[in-house]
Each structure stands twice: as C-alpha cells, then as structure tokens.
Structure 1
Amino acid sequence: MNVFDFAMDVERSGMKYYRRLANKTENKGIRRIFSMMAKDEEMLLRRFQAMRGRVQNTTMEDSRVLDYAANIFEGLLDDNDALRMETDLDAYNYVLEVEKAICQLYRDAAEREKNDEVRGLLRKIGAEEHRELESLEKIYDFVNAPNEYLAWGEFSNLDEFHNFGRYEG
C-alpha cells in the first residue's frame, strides 16, 4: 500500500470521526476538543499532501507492512464510550489514547519495513504524528495542572491558580 495514501486515509478518517463526536456530544467543552482535533487532523492531512509532493519520484512509496495495518479510526466505530465523557479531561485522555495508538502504528510499521526509503517515510510520518501527540500532552498537562499541583496547603498561594484559568473569587 502507498505510504502517503495510508497516512492521508487515516487523517481523513480522523477528521470524520472527531467531527461526528463533536456533533453528537452536548457538552460544549468536549465539543470544542473534538472540533479542535478534527482541525488538527485536517492540518496533518495537508502536511502529508505537501510531504508527498516533495518526495522524489525515485523514492518507492509502497509498503507491504501497511497492507496488513489497520486504520485506527475504522476500529473506533462505537461512539458510545466517547459520548459518555463528562469532563474535558476525559475527552483529552480519550484523544491521547487514540493518538498514542496512531504513533505506535507508524513505529511498528517502520520497524517491520524492509525497504530503507519506505522506512524513512514511515518514520517521517510517525514524527509528525508524534509532534501532534506531544502538543496534546502539553495541553492536557495545562488543563490538568490544578488537579496535580498545590505547593502548600496554605491560602497564601491561591493567586497561583489564576494561571490555570480556574481562579474564582
């Protein structure tokens, strides 16, 4: 299977999946997260299209390993678990798990690929996906910070919480 066709198919499926979840949920915060993810998938799709245009014609783009790889989003047909989420943190955790699975898919495919040029393409695509995952992890850490951090059990440090967007009072 063509490496870029596979990667772009994954991104298109991700866009559709996250848009479907955004449209089905009633929670505004979760809807915003899934909408953001749909836009991120669209941005990655454009990156892969541009990357495909830059690859030399001599580079072989077909991978036998991907013939047996599954599109992660096609396995996520049941939306019920995603729609039972109650908080933004639940949605971020869900998205992180999906993105980790995508990164693992490309890592595994690159390890099993015998052609050096195709292995390099799989690693480049995996690196783009990994940057996306790191970005999401940073957002999650920011959103989750008030739940994870309290320097002292004193009232003198309550001003710190305005940094996390949850300051009330």
Structure 2
Amino acid sequence: MPWITGWFNGRPQFGVNFPVRRIQCITHRLCQFCRQPLGRRIGIVVRPADISAGYVDEPGMHPECLDYALAVCPMLNGAMDRYRSQPPAAVAHLVALQASRAGQPAEAYDAWFITPSGYEIAYGADGSVLGLSLDVPVLMKRPVRTAAQPRLTDEQAALLRQVLDLESSTEGPITP
C-alpha cells in the first residue's frame, strides 16, 4: 500500500493522496510508496501533461517500489483505461479531481530515473510545493503504458456501421 494513499473510514482510497504526506515525501526526499529515504536512483512516473507543465506532482520512488507499483496499479499496468469520472464517494468532499482528466482515456505513462543531484522541487508562484521538476538530467526513460484509445459513443458506432455497410453483414455488431 503506498504510504501517500488516502485512507477514509478504515479503507484505502486509491488514486487519492494525502496532501500532507505527498508534500512530506517531496520535501524530505522520501519514497511515496515505502516512506524510506530515496537512494542513488529515483524513479518518477511521468505523463505528457506533466512534461507540458514542467513538473510531476507525485513524489519519487525507489526503483524497486516503482516496479511494484507498475505491476499492481491498475492505471499504470493498463487494467484501467479511463480516469475516474468522480472521486470515491467517501472522499468527494475532500478532494477535487482535475476536470481535465475526469472520465478521460488514460494517458501514456513513462518511468524516468534521476539521481539525487537531479532532484529539484518545483514551487508555485505563492511558494507552494507543486512537485518535482522535470527540467533535470534523466538517466533513463522507460515506457510504462501507452495511452488508452477513446471509446466510441453509441452514435459513433452506429455511424461507423453505416459507413462500413456492416448493417447487412453477417458478422457480429460493432460494440462501443
């Protein structure tokens, strides 16, 4: 269980991070998964949106913890193809999902590995901790998952069947 995962009513709420623990990990160079000090190599999970922003908002991890997260996290291992439309009911009043991601297909994810000398905290104009800067030397980049393909709506599937003349076909229907 990642240390920064939010717990509410005795249950973990995956995809919801304790803000204080997130900032503690970033500022004290702790692994977000096991809470131990980061070592010689630091793994971070990076999306194209993070690259555009210039920082990643999640803390780093030990390479071993990152490998485990990649194996068990449904968003990272590809088992989930969309972001949640809404936060879990237990925490809806405590968190706000980024409107830009809610319900959207999952983005591509890469694992980047940096050294402690490349560990730079990104700060907002107000001095708040945004995350880890991505404008640093990278030892290695490894693709984690490709972006999920958008799903067809019922209307799009019907139009596709019509255009491809599949309505008269003996093959099965196209499902969105």
Range class of TM-score, shorter chain: under 0.3
**TM-score where L is the length of structure 2:** 0.23
- RCO higher in 1 or 2 (8 Å CA, sep ≥ 6)? 1
Structure richer in helix, relative to its length: 1
**TM-score where L is the length of structure 1:** 0.24
Structure richer in strand, relative to its length: 2
